[in-house]
Structure 1
Amino acid sequence: MDTTKPPGSSHPPAGTNRPHTGRRRNEAAHQAILDAALDLLAHGDGAPVSIDAIARAAGIGKQTVYRWWPSKGALLLDALTHRAAQDVADPDTGALPADLLAFVTSTFDAAQHPGTAPALRTLVREAARDPHLADLMRAYTASRRAALHDLLDRGRSRGELAPDTDLDLMVDQIYGLFWYRFILECAPLDRTTARRLVRALLPTTPPAAG
Structure 2
Amino acid sequence: MQDHIVVLTGAGISAESGLSTFRDNGGLWEQHSVYDVATPEAFARNQELVLRFYNDRRRQLESAQPNQAHRLLAELEKRYRVTVITQNVDDLHERGGASNVIHLHGELTKARSSRYPELVYDIGYRDINPGDTCDRGAQLRPHIVWFGEEVPMLEKAADIVRTADHLLIVGTSLQVYPAAGLVYEVDMDVPITVVDPGEPASVSRARVIRKGAAEGVAEWVDSLK
Q: TM-score under structure 1 normalisation?
A: 0.29
Q: Looking at both structures, which has the greater relative contact order when contacts are Cα pairs under 8 Å and sequence separation is at least 6?
A: 2
More helix as a share of residues? 1
Pair member with larger Rg? 1
